[in-house]
A and B are shown apart, each in its own frame.
Chain A
């Protein structure tokens, strides 16, 4: 029964064996943080919205300009009488031949119109006035903007920041955002406004917009064309052109500012969250390590588990863990004391039975009645023996508390013990191998002998034929004593449990064995600051119990 219980527990322990977390708290938090990657996208959308607003503002501004100029030229037929100037045409051809770099505009065919519109010219908008045949009557302004003067950084820190920004995120922006450039090929500058939708619409009498790319695709040009009315006839059109560079620049600036802030917040947030998660997970890991250290391989609670004072859930968890462990250890102690307490409780009723039998024996009795009394007394003495053995562990525990420690050499104690065993078990051969020199440990030689007694009596009991081997050897800074016997190997999973109270692999029902021998041996090993282990021989021919006790350095 006890053996079965122990093996069941072993299985539970296997099931509970710890697995390393595949996804730690930090990794999970990082995963959660990916949600914030939506922020740059939102920023981009926001910048797009700004761009649209700016564009419509630009459109309105352009159309306002076009309308104003057209209004100024309306109903002044004289201005449109001038025929196309062949020189202007020639110049246009020539400049076009010189290539895209040419920025010279064809001379205006109508100096009067030119005079009118010059006052309205804007530095980064170009105004064309064309007649119905698309002959350029006048123009002013340029599509190219003068580069805005670079604002000097407020401080050296600002300068460093600007450099860093350009080297890092600035690159990112040029990847994602269309950068306005003044280095585009302005073919209209030499050919005049192309016959696009805007002019068609204007000549049809409607204020029309067009948006087109320059042929090299480097810039987008917005054009607003307004008809010029002479009476109720459209005599020409005013075309106001402007690149979207200003809008793009505004948009990019807005986006960059936003993105810088988002990036900074994200970076700060990630760092803060990572630190927080690291701290959290390190606290949890520490709690786990403490918790695991609090229970040894045999499931015994080792010492007190100190809860931490932190006033959060983890502190709470550690405190409740501490209280759980305390209760567990109380319960374990209760269980281990059970045997002692039970025997104590049974002692008085057994004394009643024994004294009754002894009194009965004094009475004149029939001879067959005496047989029964003898049997009853036989049973009773077995019961007493069991009770005595049951209290042994409890008594030893107490003895250990009071035992005085001394430094002594293990070797002579073991030699004396083995001599004793040779006398006590005349039928059993003992092989003793003992290391040279002194093996000084701290503890109590009496107890060491008692431990050896237990191990040897187990070995003798389970042995089959071959000698019981006792080996004492140095193992680093410890002495290793092993007692091994040939015999049936231990059932799997029982090794660690064997040192617990009331666990035995003996067949049930045979003799008064309580499985306290190894339990007692372990207590003594621990008293010496050592440990005890039981294992099958590597070839499966028997069982080895080995005790490791640290050596005292003189």
Chain B
């Protein structure tokens, strides 16, 4: 496993509690102090180094001096209602590779799409629990860490034209990379694991570690379909089962 020498760590998931050789540095940009401190504390407990910022300006100053390994950004920063979006853009300009997660009370499709278009790797609402958040952060680190390394066979699931790399959390369709967010990846994974079985919205939410309502699930599914269709206009594997949920169609089309 070719892990960068500087970032050597125990690849057992962040919950294992083991001390890392070099702790990863996470920036939290959140205007609500109590939430900021709670998240920071939880992440520190998992061995991350955490820097907290209450506003865009101070965060950006710090990013210019030193890039974090991952940024957790709230969209609304006090009076700066779209400050998080601006910060995301500025951070992307500084580095194309830093994983960015939005953590916001705003959960409209518009905000989610806007956030992801700006180059964020995932968009979470504040309903997400701390364990879910931590799992997600660990997964993102793993993905960015292993992006360049070769995949080992046992981590790869093959479902017809779909290839899922569970370690790198990447999906390929007909050999082409499908650029899914973590949430989307987990949804595809949950659907494709048992082709032909109907997954209802609740279990999809559980598998994707999000708490949203039905229409958000619907729009996630739509986005996933669109990403696959961008590569393969004939893609029709994700079938809506009215009244129940969704199904991954195994039948070769």
Contacts and interface: CB of A to CB of B under 8 A. Distances in A.
A446 B125 contact: no
A402 interface: yes
Contacts of B108: 394-395, 398
Interface stretch (A53-61, A305-313, A349-357, A503-511): A349-357
A355 B243 contact: no
A533 interface: no
Interface string B13-49: 0000000000000000000101100110110010000
A350 B107 CA distance: 15
Interface string B196-226: 0000100000000001111110110000000
A394 B110 CA distance: 12
A452 interface: yes
Interface in A366-406: 384, 387-389, 391-392, 394-396, 398-399, 402
A345 B34 CA distance: 15
A344 interface: yes
A446 B213 contact: no
- Chain B's interface size range is 20 to 34
A358 B130 contact: yes
Contact of A352 (B35, B200, B211): B35
B214 A416 contact: no
A402 B243 contact: no
B242 A344 contact: no
A453 B217 CA distance: 15
Most chain A beta-carbon contacts within 10 A, residue among B105, B127, B215 = B215
Interface string A309-351: 0000000000000000000000000000000000011011011
A418 interface: yes
A389 B213 contact: yes
Contact of A420 (B32, B126, B214, B244): B244
A396 B215 contact: yes
Nearest to A384: B127
B242 A355 contact: no
A550 to B, nearest CB: 21
B109 interface: yes
Contacts of A487: none
Interface string A436-450: 000000000110011
B97 interface: no
B32 A388 contact: no
Contacts of B125: 347
A168 interface: no
Contacts of B105: 344-345, 347-348, 351
A39 interface: no
B58 interface: no
Given A402-B109, A450-B214, A356 B243 contact: no
B224 to A, nearest CB: 14
A452 B218 contact: no
Contact of B215 (A347, A350, A392, A452): A392
Contact of B130 (A359, A398, A417, A423): A359
- Chain A's interface size range is 35 or more
Contacts of B38: 352, 355-356, 358-359
A421 interface: yes
A220 to B, nearest CB: 100
Contact of A351 (B41, B126, B200, B219): B126
Given A355-B42, A359-B38, A388-B127, A420 B243 contact: yes
Interface string B61-89: 00000000000000000000000000000
A391 B110 CA distance: 14
Contact of B218 (A344, A446, A456): A446
A552 interface: no
B213 A362 contact: no
B129 interface: yes
A29 interface: no
A355 B35 contact: yes
B39 A392 contact: no
A399 B214 CA distance: 11
Interface in A411-434: 413, 416-421, 423-424
B159 interface: no
Contacts of A384: 127, 211
| Top-8 shortest CB links A-B | A420-B243, A355-B38, A351-B126, A417-B243, A347-B105, A449-B242, A420-B244, A416-B242
Interface of B: 32, 34-35, 38-39, 41-42, 45, 105-110, 125-127, 129-131, 200, 211-216, 218-219, 240-244
Interface of A: 344-345, 347-348, 350-352, 354-356, 358-359, 362, 384, 387-389, 391-392, 394-396, 398-399, 402, 413, 416-421, 423-424, 445-446, 449-450, 452-453, 456
Given A354-B130, A355-B38, A356-B38, 5 more contacts: A347-B125, A351-B105, A352-B32, A352-B38, A420-B243
6 contacts: A347-B107, A358-B131, A359-B42, A384-B211, A399-B109, A413-B242
